[in-house]
């Protein structure tokens, strides 16, 4: 067998065999022979009182600063260890309207992110 045929045979074996095996598992699961595995529940952690107090103080400061600077609206999120721990909209979407900013408001921030994006990477 030439080297080329040998490599083609190995490629077919390495790609085809797992596909054939997966097809067998999928068909067995479709027949109901394999019972689904239920993941154990993740225990809820008690909130850290320091962080709760810090977020309450932060929220008061945000409200105060947005009023002092006459900011029409802002959306603020704080992420701690891959979890969103604070999410709030402040103010209105457009000056002169009563539509409030919430967690789902899309805010066009243009190139503002360039100033802090380098710190994230």
Q: What is the DSSP string of 61-81?
A: HHHHHHHHTT--EEEEEEEET
> What confidence tens digit (pLDDT) does each residue in 60-69 have?
988 888 888 8
Beta bridge partners of 114: none
Which pLDDT band holds residue 76 (cuts at 50, 70, 90)?
A: confident
User: What percent of the chain stands above pLDDT 70?
Assistant: 60
> What confidence tens digit (pLDDT) does each residue in 46-62 have?
778 888 888 889 889 88
Q: Give pTM, 2 decimals.
A: 0.49
**Contact, 91 vs 100, CB < 8 A?**
yes
């Amino acid at each position: 067998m030439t080297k080329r045929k040998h490599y083609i045979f190995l490629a077919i074996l390495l790609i085809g065999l797992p596909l054939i095996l997966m097809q067998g598992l999928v068909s067995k699961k479709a027949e109901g022979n394999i019972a689904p595995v239920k993941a154990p529940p993740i225990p809820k952690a008690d909130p850290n009182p320091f962080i709760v107090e810090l977020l309450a103080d932060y929220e008061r400061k945000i409200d105060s600063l947005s009023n002092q600077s006459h900011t029409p609206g802002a959306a603020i999120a704080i992420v701690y260890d891959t979890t969103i721990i604070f999410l709030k909209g402040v103010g209105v979407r457009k000056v002169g309207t009563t539509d409030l900013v919430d967690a789902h408001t899309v805010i066009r921030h243009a190139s503002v992110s360039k100033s802090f994006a380098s710190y994230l990477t």
